[in-house]
Amino acid sequence: MIKHPLSLRISKPIAVGLPEAAGAKNPLGRDVKSSGFLAAALLVLGFQGLTRAQTLPPNQLLAGVVAGAVGATGFGGSCYVNRGNAFFQRNGLEPKAIISFDDIADAGIWDLHGPAIMTFATPASGFIRFKQTGAAPFSVARPRFNNYSQAYDSAAKRLVVAFRIVFPDCTLPVRAVFDAT
């Protein structure tokens, strides 16, 4: 027999079920009636603690706002995201999310807007595929993203999402706040 390092050794068997007489003692010497009340109280308090630490339900469409930002440039490139309305939805257990933008521009030439699908390779990085790209090259229409983070405030029912989109000539910081009401 293999012993678990945290297992308890019980020298005599414990009876299962409630004894017939009210107030009878269980084999460990505790009053059965008061043990039941204690267990019920702990169960209720435990469930209240769980409701306070809620996480954002998956597959919930959220509306919010993307903050305006200008990206770090390299070799004369530039990119920006205009402040505007946005939507966001994580896809349950799948490594995908959908986010929308009013306006993103890369190098002042490529205008990207509308929905974009984020596919996660790791919890913090992956690729983002813009749906409305026109004739943009692959490296602009499907750039990498990194430094993804999200924080959900269950009291305010607010989700804050932040990440960086890595275009060929510019890295664009994105920060958005969504309400789950």
The whole-angstrom separation of Cα 68 and Cα 176 is 9
Higher pLDDT, residue 92 or 114: 114
The whole-angstrom separation of Cα 36 and Cα 27 is 15
Residues with Cβ within 8 Å of residue 144, at least 6 apart in sequence? 125, 126, 127, 128, 165, 166
Give, for 37, the enclosing helix (H) or strand (E).
helix 32-52
Any idea what DSSP says for residue 71?
-
Residues with Cβ within 8 Å of residue 133, at least 6 apart in sequence? 110, 112, 140, 141
pLDDT one-digit tens code per residue, 122-136 = 999 999 999 877 788
User: Looking at residue 14, what is its pLDDT?
Assistant: 41
Of the chain, the percentage scoring pLDDT greater than 90 comes to 40
The whole-angstrom separation of Cα 102 and Cα 50 is 37
Site of tokens 């954002």: 56
Q: How many residues does the chain have?
A: 181
SS3 72: strand
User: Looking at residue 178, what is its pLDDT?
Assistant: 95
Higher pLDDT, residue 69 or 14: 69
Give, for 166, the enclosing helix (H) or strand (E).
strand 158-167
pTM of this prediction? Answer: 0.67
Of the chain, the percentage scoring pLDDT greater than 70 comes to 65
